[in-house]
């Protein structure tokens, strides 16, 4: 016994003095802490951790409505898009908006097994030389030039003038970012300084990477070259902070992929493959469902919360990861996202619906909250876009999408007393008659999926898309600023208006304008261009300040209060969709391009064509087979 050797302690161990008891207990507690701590930090500790944690984690963490990921209160400099492209309101306590599944209790650190993570990273590097000619092969497989015959220049003078105005807005936003926040993630236009935030794990330049394709498409070549030079010389992918897997994927991976496919600049390909490899440890979970956050450091640990994974986060990887396999020759990227699909197809879905939270440990749903807005949105978007990006060969994605649409129509789509069609939220069988701004992307999504639905449903889907887009326009037209609130309701006599103070803010969101663009392309109804121009005028009047663009705290107030944040997605999405709305359809034609959820265009993958033009890797298969 250790205490037998302590001075003044009898052989029986009795008679310990108070100070000696304290020393002994301190030593014992340190020993226990050391032993249990080793379970988390030994190189191959995952199996041990599962033994000790499985009983606690199998039920998964129940994320109540008060804890759902959401925007911060408007005006807080940290607020961005809540949980993924969304969240549940502005009154949630999290510091990181639009950030993935951060646990609201004790956090566990799960180390990705060193050797396994290293094995997963190495194949891409080993096979990279075999994929040098992919860009030329890809160009030959486009049906039309990416930038059209005349860069999408419209023939009528009014539309051209409006397009030039959007281009001027982009240059104004970019110039002020460059002047006051260069190299940081976003601009604070009121205080004229930069914002880093904590969603990107130490990565910098989010506005630069997010803007690459927008600058190139608009013909702002001097600005594009500045951005490219920064990526080449200053984009450091080694950092030791917690990053949102979702945000890094849609902004950085998506932005670099689209920049490569539009320009062929090798630096973008090199950077995106390197970054993609750093995301793989997030998938080292018992189910293969990735954790929401990951450390991007040079070592191969995957840091994550012990809570649930969010549907719109782990369901918004497919487009980018297929293209990472395309460029790197590493099939592991595709295998990871196909495994997600396999699990989703296996588990039971209540009334055919996909709840927003899933345990990455047990593979079971956690809390039956369903939304086509925040927390769920881009999962559905990526189903139909995966089908379209596969050149309509991905039949599994098609089946999943239309099955989900049937369940959504049956359970969520509602008609207000005033005749407005909206998509409610579902909480364990009880409808919440609320629609978020984030859900307004669904007009465009349903529209682009209309032609490939059942023959008897095609016109119905197009009509439904138009009705939802009309409702979202009403949420804009019924405000004093002609900009839409974060969420609007259809109860207690309200229709398409925010009834809560916490829902009244607007942070330069793109989703309504996104649906205008798609509906214009699909119908050429001039009202969509008129609605887009109304949004331009409102942005200019209420969001433009001396040093950039800022969100506002209350869309119903005649005198606006700004939130001092120029979001990177304003440059990537809002202004790009407006520019495309006022361009001819041959600028990034939808036959060839699919936009990720950050509006980064990715090319349709035509396997047979790529094979014919020699886009093969050493394993002898076409890129995505």
> Which residues are documented as binding site for Ca(2+)?
597
The C-alpha atoms of residue 440 and residue 516 are separated, in whole angstroms, by 10
Question: Nearest Cα to 255, choosing from 315, 189, 203, 308?
Answer: 203
Extract the annotated binding site. 597
What is the CA angle 404-383-294, rounded to 5?
Answer: 115
Give yes or no: 486 in active site. yes
The C-alpha atoms of residue 498 and residue 555 are separated, in whole angstroms, by 9
Quick one: how far is CA 494 from the chain centroid? 30
| Strands, E assignment, 160-205 | 186-188, 193-195
- 338: how many CB neighbours lie within 10 A of its CB? 15
Query: How is residue 595 annotated by DSSP?
Result: E
Catalytic residue among 110, 134, 247, 394: 247
The C-alpha atoms of residue 445 and residue 451 are separated, in whole angstroms, by 12
Catalytic residue among 110, 274, 377, 598: 377
The C-alpha atoms of residue 486 and residue 66 are separated, in whole angstroms, by 17
**Angle of the 332-346 helix axis to the 395-411 helix axis, nearest 10:** 40
Token pair 């036959």: residue:
591
Give yes or no: 377 in active site. yes
Q: Which residues pair with 310 in a beta bridge?
A: 357
Close Cβ partners of 114 (under 8 Å, ≥ 6 residues apart): 43, 44, 299, 300, 301
Question: Nearest Cα to 354, choosing from 319, 311, 385, 318?
Answer: 311
> Under a CB-based contact definition with an 8 Å cutoff, are residues 575 and 169 in contact?
yes
Give yes or no: 226 in active site. no
Q: Which two tokens stand for residue 383?
A: 């189903």
Catalytic residue among 486, 514, 554, 623: 486
Catalytic residue among 57, 110, 511, 598: 511
| Active-site residue list | 247, 377, 486, 511
């Amino acid at each position: 016994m250790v205490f037998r050797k302590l001075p003044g302690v009898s052989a029986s161990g009795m008679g310990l003095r108070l100070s000696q008891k304290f020393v002994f207990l301190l030593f014992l507690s340190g020993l226990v802490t050391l032993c249990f701590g080793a379970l988390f930090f030994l190189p191959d500790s995952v199996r041990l951790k599962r033994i000790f944690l499985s009983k606690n984690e199998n039920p998964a963490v129940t994320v109540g409505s008060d804890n759902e990921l959401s925007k911060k209160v408007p005006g807080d400099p940290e607020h961005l898009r809540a949980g993924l492209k969304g969240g549940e309101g502005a009154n949630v306590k999290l510091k990181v908006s639009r950030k993935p599944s951060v646990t609201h209790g004790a956090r566990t650190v799960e180390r990705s097994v060193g050797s396994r993570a290293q094995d997963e990273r190495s194949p891409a590097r080993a096979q990279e030389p075999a994929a040098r000619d992919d860009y030329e092969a890809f160009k030959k497989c486009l049906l039309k030039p990416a930038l059209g015959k005349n860069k999408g220049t419209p023939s009528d003078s009014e539309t051209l003038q409006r397009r030039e105005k959007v281009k001027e807005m982009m240059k104004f936003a970019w110039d002020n970012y460059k002047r006051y926040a260069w190299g940081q993630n976003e601009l604070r236009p009121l205080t004229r300084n930069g914002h880093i935030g904590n969603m990107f794990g130490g990565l910098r330049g989010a506005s630069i990477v997010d803007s690459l394709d927008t600058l190139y498409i608009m013909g702002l070549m001097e600005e594009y070259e500045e951005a490219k030079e920064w990526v080449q010389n200053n984009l450091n992918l080694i950092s030791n902070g917690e990053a949102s897997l979702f945000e890094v994927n849609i902004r950085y991976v998506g932005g670099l992929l689209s920049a490569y496919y539009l320009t062929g600049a090798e630096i973008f390909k090199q950077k995106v493959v390197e970054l993609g490899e750093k995301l793989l440890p997030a998938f080292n979970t018992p189910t293969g469902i990735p954790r929401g956050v990951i450390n991007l450091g040079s070592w191969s640990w995957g840091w994550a919360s012990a809570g649930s994974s969010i549907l719109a986060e782990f369901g918004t990887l497919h487009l980018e990861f297929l293209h990472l396999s395309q460029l790197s020759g590493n099939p592991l990227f595709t295998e990871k996202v196909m495994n997600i699909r396999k699990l989703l197809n296996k588990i039971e879905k209540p009334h055919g619906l996909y709840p927003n939270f899933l345990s990455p440990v047990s593979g079971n749903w956690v809390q039956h909250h369903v939304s086509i807005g925040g927390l769920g949105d881009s999962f559905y978007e990526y189903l139909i876009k995966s089908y379209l990006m596969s050149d309509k060969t991905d039949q599994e994605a098609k089946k999943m999408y239309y099955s989900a649409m049937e369940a959504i129509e049956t359970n969520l789509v509602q008609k207000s007393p005033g005749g407005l069609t909206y998509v409610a939220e579902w909480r364990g069988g009880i409808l919440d008659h609320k629609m978020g701004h984030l859900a307004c992307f669904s007009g465009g999504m349903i529209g682009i999926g209309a032609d490939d639905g059942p023959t008897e449903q095609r016109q119905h889907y197009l009509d439904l898309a138009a009705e939802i887009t009309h409702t979202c326009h009403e949420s804009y037209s019924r405000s004093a600023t002609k900009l839409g609130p974060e969420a609007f309701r259809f109860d207690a006599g309200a229709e398409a208006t925010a009834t809560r103070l916490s829902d009244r803010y607007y942070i330069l969101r793109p989703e309504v304008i996104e649906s205008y663009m798609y509906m214009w392309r699909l119908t050429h109804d001039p009202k969509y261009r008129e609605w887009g121009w109304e949004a331009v005028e409102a942005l200019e009047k209420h969001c433009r300040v001396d040093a950039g663009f800022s969100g506002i705290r209350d869309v119903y107030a005649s005198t606006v209060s700004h939130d001092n944040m120029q979001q990177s997605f304003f440059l990537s999405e809002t202004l790009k969709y407006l520019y495309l709305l006022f361009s001819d359809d041959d600028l990034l034609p939808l036959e060839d391009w699919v936009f990720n959820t950050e509006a980064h265009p990715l090319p349709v993958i035509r396997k047979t064509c790529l094979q014919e033009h020699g886009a093969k890797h050493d394993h002898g298969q076409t890129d995505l087979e």
